[in-house]
A and B are shown apart, each in its own frame.
Chain A
Amino acid sequence: MSTSPFDPQDAAIVFDGVTKAFGAHKVLQGLDLVVPKGKCTVIIGRSGTGKSVTLKHAMGLIQPDAGRVTVLGKELGRLKREELQRLRLRFGMVFQNAALFDSLSVYENVAFPLREHEKLTEAETLSRVEAVLAQVGLSFAIQKMPSELSGGMRKRVGLARAIIHTPDILLYDEPTTGLDPILTAQIDELIAATQQNHPAMASVVVSHDMKGAFMVADYIYMLHQGKVVAQGPPEHFKTTDDPLVRQFVEGRLDGPIGVE
């Protein structure tokens, strides 16, 4: 397997031999991965291979059993609580199930990072919230409560909340799963545009949607059984005859990936 062409010294996120088990269930088994700055990295893999767990490691929400996670040059395991908090301010994360605060309105949810960490007037906050909600096409829902929204709408509110403070690293956990094809295209477009508008930003998109992955990715990692089994730019994934990749990309039942 080839190693990534990115310099780990100047990367946004580096995973170095990370292993993680939940009880007897080994999820990550020596994960090596480099997320470069200024690019959009896509992580693909079957359901349950540990993609969400990987993203949570990057933010220090889960600690590895072995190996190191380094973010913007800082090794997470060595940071004090306050340092980790400060580092997290530079992230935005779109959770797979949105993880909106269900006691707060859409407006309060999206305004949350601003209220916590920036001193803004109410008018400034409102205009920033309106701007990101417009980007995700949800201006009309600003006064609603999360329980009144559809799954796709919740996901887009989660996206708005993650991008409102223009983070240095933006993690998307399956941003388009469960959306209709037109919205999917719109969100993929938004991910690509956000990346283009912030050339220094690092985006990481976890996805099973190959069409979207090919559209937004600068570089793709494929995870299988807790390891990176293939990596390269999108063209590589389109042309390689690695049977693992072909089976996943084409969604076939027969191949080296066992189907239970």
Chain B
Amino acid sequence: MITRLVEGVGAAVIRVVERFGSFAEVAVRGTWTLFTPPFRPRLILQQLEFVGVQSLSIVLISGFFTGGVFALQAAYGFGLFGAETLTGSTVTLSLSRSLGPVFCSLMVTGRAGSAMAAEIGTMKVTEQIDALESMAVDPVEYLVSPRVIAGAIMVPVLSALYTGIGMIGAYMVSVPYMGIDGGAFLDRIAWYADPEDLHWGLIKASVYGWLLAAVGCWKGLSVRGGAQGVGQATTEAVVVSSVAILVLDYFFTDILMKLGLLT
């Protein structure tokens, strides 16, 4: 009984370690091969376009409404003790530190991370990955590295836009709609917001962008079976990336605060 349990736990641990090992292999080699020839500017541009430009509309729409709804809630809360003008600075701080990078990464995971898993998974089940290998091309170098670099570059850009448009949304809700004084609203933002926040937010977004692309590619490359396997990999890519981003963001924030880099 006990030995059974130990065996079961042991096997589970080995599975987790193996899984993580295969992810680490894809992620590390996918990043490392960016710095060794052949360089593939055309594929990288394609992915920058795919991750960045094509995510623009959902990022802008969701950013605007995130800022808006947050302003609604904050204005109500601060209104209870007459501090409505703090709404703008609160929304700005939250968006630039955490909400921008995290929400934006989650949106890009749903749009681009899932598509990466589906596309690479389909290539796997139709033997296109084997074909790459048979022509002495490393699939990780050819498929993964353009995607991870595109994630690491474009998600911070999108995150900055998300934060910016979120602030516009917050302004629109607070000032014209709820009648908070516009001058004071902007004044408080300038008072509290720190460029340092934005800068750490961008670094986090870059890490999450890299992560969601690496997870999407890894899930795609590990597809087994046919169409069903592709569907499953796509779902798993979204779930794993989303959970990982949320967990990572917690620890990131905690560590930055402990180090005194964020106040």
Contact = CB atoms under 8 A, between A and B. Distances in A.
Contacts of B128: 99-102
A234 interface: no
Nearest to B138: A85
Interface stretch (A109-117, A201-209, A214-222): A109-117
B56 to A, nearest CB: 22
A93 B128 CA distance: 12
Nearest to B122: A102
A97 B159 CA distance: 42
A200 interface: no
Contacts of B131: 93, 95, 99-101
A61 B130 contact: yes
B127 A88 contact: no
Nearest to B137: A116
Contact of B135 (A86, A100, A102, A116): A116
Interface residues of A, number: 20
A172 interface: no
A99 B125 CA distance: 10
B136 A56 contact: no
A213 interface: no
Interface string B38-65: 1000000000000000000000000000
Contacts of A102: 126, 128
Contacts of B38: 116
B136 A85 contact: yes
A107 interface: no
Contacts, number: 44
B162 to A, nearest CB: 29
Interface in A111-149: 112-113, 116-117
A97 B127 CA distance: 8
Nearest to B130: A61
B133 interface: yes
A183 to B, nearest CB: 22
A116 B37 CA distance: 11
A102 to B, nearest CB: 7
B126 A88 contact: no
A226 B138 CA distance: 30
Nearest to B38: A116
Contacts of B123: 101
Contacts of A12: none
Interface in B118-153: 123, 126-128, 130-131, 133-138
A88 B136 contact: yes
A112 B130 contact: no
A97 B137 CA distance: 19
B126 A113 contact: no
Nearest to A59: B134
A128 B119 CA distance: 30
A117 B137 CA distance: 9
Nearest to B135: A113
A86 B136 CA distance: 7
Interface string B214-231: 000000000000000000
A62 to B, nearest CB: 9
Contacts of B127: 95-97, 99
Contacts of B137: 116
Interface of B: 38, 123, 126-128, 130-131, 133-138
**A-B pairs with lowest CB-CB distance, top 7:** A99-B127, A99-B131, A88-B136, A85-B136, A93-B134, A89-B136, A113-B135
7 contacts: A56-B130, A96-B127, A99-B131, A100-B131, A101-B131, A112-B135, A116-B137
